[in-house]
Chain A
C-alpha cells in the first residue's frame, strides 16, 4: 500500500470519509513504510506506538460517526523540541536524555484535538542550532533525495520524514530558517508563520524573540490546513496574537494583479549557486506569466543580517539554556565537590560543540563592557532590517527569492567551518528578525537536487504568502514528490 504514503491531506480525508480506508490502515501503511526506509533516512529519533495506536482508533471512531474533520487520522511527525506529555523530548541533546514532559505544548495539543495521529519524534540539530541536522546529539539524518547529503536543518528530521513519505505532515520550528531551509533542500513545503501567530507554549526555547512553530507538508494547501489548526491566541503564551485566524483567506485567488518584489541583494549573496538562481528565475517567470507584476525592491541591510542574527540568537540562547543545570531534569554529573562544579561539568558534557559555541558567544556579547558594542548594536541593526522590509512592502505585496542559496550539501562538508554553515540561512533569517511569515515551496531541481522558492509577506499576511505559493504550485505544476527509496 505504498500509495497511501504519498497522499495529501485532502486526498486522504476524502478516502477516510468515504470509508475506503480507515485511519488505522493509513497509519499502518506509514509505520510499514517507515520500517522500510527510515533505517536509511534516519528521520526519527523515536516512535510513539502508545500514541498512534490509540489516536488512530479514536480517529476511526470519529470517522464512523461522521464527526471527523480534515485532520482526523492524518499521520504527523513532531520535531524533538515540542513537548508531548509522557513522550521523551530531548531537543536533540544528550543533556535532556530521558526527559518526559509533564504536559503537551499548545500547537501539538491543537493538532491532537483536530484528530492528527503522532507517529514519532523527529531528529534535529541540538536545541535547533544548525542548518544540517549534523549537530544532533544522537545521529545525522540523511536527505531522501541523496542519502550522502544533509536534509538541511535544524528541522531536518521533519523535512526528511515528509519528503520520504514517512509522515504526511510534520512540525518544525524556525528561528533563522530552520523550517524553510530544510523544506527547500528536501523538496517539500515548509512555512514559518508571523511571530506570535502560533503559541510557543511547550516549545523548548532557543531564541525567544525569533522562534516560531510551523508545518511541513507536500502541498501548500496541506501546510495551510495545519497552520490554521495550530494558529490563534493562547493565554499560556503572552506573545501569541488574538488576531483573526484568516490564514486561508483568498487561498485560491491567484496572483493576477499582485506585485511581487525581487530583492536585488538576495540573488547576489555569498555562495549563491547558479543552478539555484536559475531555478528561482524560472519560478519568478512562471508567476509573471500567471499575472503577477514583478518589481525590483531593495533590502540594503542584507549584508548585516547574518551578523545581527549571530549576536541576537546566541544572546537569547545563552539566557534560555541557563536552565539546563543538572538539577531539575536531564543529565547531571554527580561525582562533584560543589554545586558550581556540577553545573559546569554537566553543561560541558551534556551540550554539544555548536551549542557550547553559541552559549559562549552569547554570554560574551552580553557580558559587562561588550553589551553596547554587540547586543545593543545588533538590536539597532535589527530595527534597520525591519525598516528595509517595511519599505519594500510599500512597493510590493510579497517578496520572492531563493530559500537557500545552496542545494543539499554532502554530510561532513561544512561542519569544520561554522560561518559556512551559518551562510545557509542568509536568505531566511531576515524574516525572523522582522517577524514575517515565510513559506518555501519546491521550484524544480538543480543537479538532481531540490530547490526552494521563498515567499515572504508582511506581518500577519500568511494569507498572502500562501496565496502566492499556491498560485506558483498551480501555474508551474511543480509538486512536492515523495523521494523513491529502495
Chain B
C-alpha cells in the first residue's frame, strides 16, 4: 500500500529526521516501492506460527556483578560536540515561561 505525504511527515517526526524540500515526494515514492515488494509477506499463512526475535538458544545469561573500571568523566565527554562544567550541553528543552 502506497505511503501518503501525510504519513511521510508523521514517520519523519517519529524518527526525528527533518524534511527538506523534495524529501516528502522522495520518501513517499521510494518507500512505497519497497513496501510493494514487502506486501508479499501477506501471502504467507502464519496463523499458528510463533514469531522469532532471535535465533540461538541463549536465554537470559547472567554474570557476576563485578565492579570494573568505567569511563572517567573526561573520557565520557571527550567526544561531546558541546560540554560545559562536566555535562553534555544541549539546547533548551523547555520554553521560557
Contact = CB atoms under 8 A, between A and B. Distances in A.
A304 B20 contact: no
B56 A339 contact: no
A419 B93 CA distance: 40
B85 interface: no
Contacts of A303: 40
A383 B49 contact: yes
B27 A357 contact: yes
Main secondary structure of the interface of B (DSSP, over half): loop
B97 interface: no
A251 to B, nearest CB: 23
Nearest to B15: A363
Interface string A309-347: 011000000100010011111111010111111111101
B31 A328 contact: no
A330 B16 CA distance: 16
B84 interface: no
Contacts of B52: 379-380, 382-383, 386
A238 B60 CA distance: 8
A328 B82 CA distance: 8
B91 interface: yes
Contacts of B38: 307, 310-311, 374
B55 A386 contact: yes
Contacts of A380: 44, 46, 49-52
A305 to B, nearest CB: 10
A301 B52 CA distance: 15
B79 A328 contact: yes
A364 B78 contact: no
Contacts of B56: 194-196, 239, 241, 435, 459
A364 B7 contact: yes
A179 interface: no
Contact of A327 (B7, B10, B90): B90
B81 A329 contact: yes
B84 to A, nearest CB: 13
Interface string B70-97: 0100011011111000001011110100
A307 B19 CA distance: 26
A336 B75 contact: no
The residue among B40, B56, B63, B76 with the most chain A CB atoms within 10 A of its own CB is B56
A406 B52 CA distance: 30
Given A235-B63, A303-B40, A334 B81 contact: yes
Contacts of B10: 367
A367 B76 CA distance: 33
Contact of B17 (A342, A344, A374): A344
A209 B46 contact: no
A342 B82 CA distance: 12
Contacts of A328: 79-80, 88
Interface string A380-396: 11111010000000000
B41 A418 contact: no
Nearest to B1: A373
A360 B27 contact: yes
A363 B11 contact: yes
B55 A102 contact: no
Contact of A360 (B12, B20, B46, B76): B12
Given A102-B75, A338-B93, A384-B49, A301 B44 contact: yes
B42 A377 contact: yes
Given A304-B40, A329-B80, A360 B11 contact: yes
A206 interface: no
Nearest to B48: A380
Contact of B31 (A196, A306, A334, A364): A364
23 contacts: A98-B79, A99-B79, A238-B58, A238-B63, A241-B56, A304-B41, A308-B41, A311-B38, A311-B41, A326-B81, A328-B79, A329-B79, A332-B81, A334-B91, A339-B92, A341-B91, A342-B91, A347-B16, A361-B31, A373-B42, A382-B51, A418-B33, A459-B56
Interface of B: 3, 7-8, 10-12, 14-20, 27, 30-31, 33-35, 37-44, 46, 49-56, 58, 61, 63, 71, 75-76, 78-82, 88, 90-93, 95
Name the 8 nearest CB pairs between A and B, nearest first. Answer: A435-B55, A379-B51, A332-B81, A329-B79, A344-B18, A380-B46, A348-B18, A363-B15
